[in-house]
Amino acid sequence: MAEQLKEFANVALTAASFDSSGEYNILTNNSTTQAVIKDIDAVAGTNVTNSNIKIKNGISTIATGGLSSGSEIIPVSRSVKLSLDPIPSAGTSKTFKAYTLSSQAYQNYVDHELVQVSGNTYPMISGTSYVNSFTNGSEIAMTNVMQTNSSFFFIDTAGTRAWHCRWDGNSDWQLRYAAVTSGVGTSSVTIGSWVNATSSLGISSYMCPTFDPDNNKFYFQQNFHRLYEVNMTTLAVTTHGGAFTGITGNAAQSTYNVGAFSNGFYFANQTNQVNQLVYTNPVTGKKGRIYRGSTFLIGANHCLAVCYNPTDKNYYITTTDGGGYMNLNYVTEAELNAGGNHTPTFVGQFQLGHNNMNHMGSSNIGYQTYTDTSSRVVIVQPTTSGYTTINTYTNSTLTYSSATIVTTASSAVPLNQITAEMSIKVSGVEITGVS
């Protein structure tokens, strides 16, 4: 056997240096080599602290960040690795369209573009192209005009079918769709004849309808107990028979009925559900009511919007009274995943919205939309202290209704787009010729 002093590592590391398990290989012995580590100097750098750093011999942690000395035997065919906790991840970049519909002519819309990065475990590098952003679109003309009082409007993720849902502000809901034949991405989109799917799908008054555009689904409360789910590609209907059974205070459909969908949960609010929302998850079966006296506004032409924030894991609930007031409450993800009855936290009342706006946009990304007192569409991020404005769309010639937010693309962000820096120096004795 032969022995020699050796510097096993002396390198500067970035997030991109680590594998998918959050590890960097310092040394690996072959079948005839052993090592004795004498000194480790793991120097924390930008966005990395000593508590983030672990040096492991197999499953055993032999050192953390900083300077360590002593003796650690590394047997044949064994590796020493450095790991970061949390594991370096640059997260996911998602692109969204916010379809803003003209509320004057019902023949123009704007598809704003949002880009949001989430799930990164270390900060994004300065000047990266992967940043949260919002881009206003330009007006797009449609060949076929929709009926008045349209509340929801968007083009599906495939870009082949347009959808809108109209509400009279009281009871009557109608669902329509049309083929998109050409012009996507241009200033003029050709749309075929609008098909009224209301009767064929079993939709009538007082049914609290809403879209889940990310999954091409449409939901409505068919009666006292049932939730109907429509596949917007095939138009197949799935019945969730006991979606509302056993919910405290659940009642038959009533006036001023509205629905919302966010992160797997359907929400409904109507006149005879006094001061409460009912919720149900058609996949998990979790259901219940969200109740707090007088904090849920309701009335003619009122709105409901719910957004899930993946960062703080809260569901933010906005209700309006048709008079421009917006009440903000929230419940936690843990509460809804548990099912049952819950009391929300009331954030406050805000006089921000337009009278009789008829629609607010919900999402899975922590954003909602509303129409302000100047008929401008505003995208906001609700928080535990109020609303943070993301963007306000200004147009001098037309007024617009609130936008429906649709996910159009998703991709993993490369590790070289986050900043997690440190250096590692490891020295000791290498023993070769081991038999």
- The answer to whether residues 53 and 202 belong to one domain is no
Contact status, residue 278 vs residue 287, Cβ threshold 8 Å:
yes
Report pLDDT for 75: 95
Supply the pLDDT for residue 427. 97
Give every residue of the chain whose pLDDT is below 70, as ranges.
103-106, 147-150, 395-398
- Residue where the block lists tokens 């929230």: 330
Reported as a single tens digit per residue, the pLDDT across 191-242 is 999 899 988 888 888 888 999 998 999 999 988 889 999 999 899 999 999 9
Give the CATH number of the domain where residue 66 resides. Answer: 2.60.120
Looking at the structure, do residues 61 and 99 belong to the same domain, yes or no? no
The domain of 151 spans 92-414
**Quick one: 406 and 392 in the same domain?**
yes
pLDDT of residue 395: 66
Task: Give the pLDDT of residue 105.
Answer: 62
From the CA atom positions of the chain, what is the Rg in Å? 28
Identify whether residues 47 and 99 lie together within a single domain.
no
Judge if 327 and 427 occupy the same domain.
no
Q: Are 215 and 326 in a shared domain?
A: yes
Contact 218, 230 (CB under 8 A): yes
Domain identity same for 35 and 105: no
The pLDDT, as a whole number, for residue 99 is 86
Per-residue model confidence as pLDDT tens digits over 280-325: 999 999 999 999 887 888 877 788 999 999 889 999 999 988 788 8
pLDDT for residue 147: 65
Structural contact between residues 165 and 174, judged by C-beta atoms closer than 8 angstroms: yes
3-state helix, strand, coil in the chain (%, to 5): 5, 50, 45
Q: Are residues 14 and 105 in the same domain?
A: no
Contact 89, 119 (CB under 8 A): yes
The pLDDT, as a whole number, for residue 332 is: 98
**Can you give the pLDDT at residue 149?**
66
Tell me the CATH number at 118.
2.120.10.30
Q: Are residues 126 and 242 in the same domain?
A: yes
Question: Is 186 in the same domain as 301?
Answer: yes
Are residues 117 and 173 both part of a single domain?
yes
Rounded CA-CA distance 293/80 in Å is: 59
From 59, 82, 62, 81, select the one nearest 72 (Cα to Cα).
Answer: 62
pLDDT value at residue 260: 95
Q: What is the tally of structural domains in the chain?
A: 2
How far lies 316's CA from each of 189, 221, 235, 278, 349, in Å? 34, 21, 30, 14, 13
Query: In terms of domains, do 14 and 140 share one?
Result: no
Nearest-angstrom CA–CA distance, 262 and 365: 9
Q: What is the reported pLDDT for 263?
A: 96
